[in-house]
Amino acid sequence: MKIPLKLIQFFFILVFGMGRGNAQQQLAKYFEGLIYSDFFLLGTPTPADSLWAIPETKNLAEKLLVDTAASVKSRFFAAELLFTKNSGLPDSIDKFIVAKVYATALKEGFADRPNYWGMPDVDYGYIGSHVISLGPAAIKAFHPLLKDRRILRYSGSREATQSQLYQYRICDVAAMYIVAIHKKDSEYKPCRWLFIRRIQIARIKLIKS
């Protein structure tokens, strides 16, 4: 697979100190221009694989993740890189800080397909499994999204059909995570009828971290 030009440029900046700004800033800038599926899922190796092969990437991603001055999108990509290539986050990183990054990422649509966040009563998706692994911290971070009724547009044959039928919203995905964390082996099963689902969401709002 041909390595993207932007990734090659980042490598030279990191190794030889070329260009303006330090390596962490350059990594943040690189992440800001990415599309989730292209970076994590396209090709063998993926661009994420190639970036992870650079020795300093892990350390830079950890620092970027907790840098509140950096863009949330860049911090989200840093978190996903650590989850997918490092099998999780270091214990030293505050899980609530990370959970807030993920909540914002869902709200702002930083992943190009909602499928990656999971679908209620189907699966948790690539990203959703990472959210749930954050535990009670994610309940607090995602709680405000229970008020977000914007509809998500899923792709794929089965997923698109079911999402059109149920009109899944951001609040439904947030509810799925909160229920899964609050009560293990339990699932949020949204009713097809929205007026009943409002009652379901109202009950989930009572769950606190």
Domain boundary residue among 59, 87, 115? 87
Do 73 and 116 belong to one domain? no
Does the pTM exceed 0.85?
yes
List, for residues 41-84, the tens digit of each pLDDT value. 998 889 999 999 988 899 999 999 999 999 999 999 999 999 99
Q: Note the pLDDT tens digit of each residue in 122-136.
A: 889 999 999 999 999
- In this model, does residue 28 exceed pLDDT 90? yes
Q: Are residues 172 and 121 in the same domain?
A: yes
**Residues 38 and 119 both lie in one domain:** no
133 and 190 share a domain? Answer: yes
For the chain, percent of residues with pLDDT exceeding 90: 66
Same domain, 55 and 106: no
Asked if 138 and 131 count as a contact pair (C-beta separation under 8 A), the reply is: yes
**pLDDT score of 195 more than 50:** yes
Give the domain range for residue 205.
94-209
Number of domains in the chain: 2
How many residues comprise the chain? 209
pLDDT for residue 8:
54
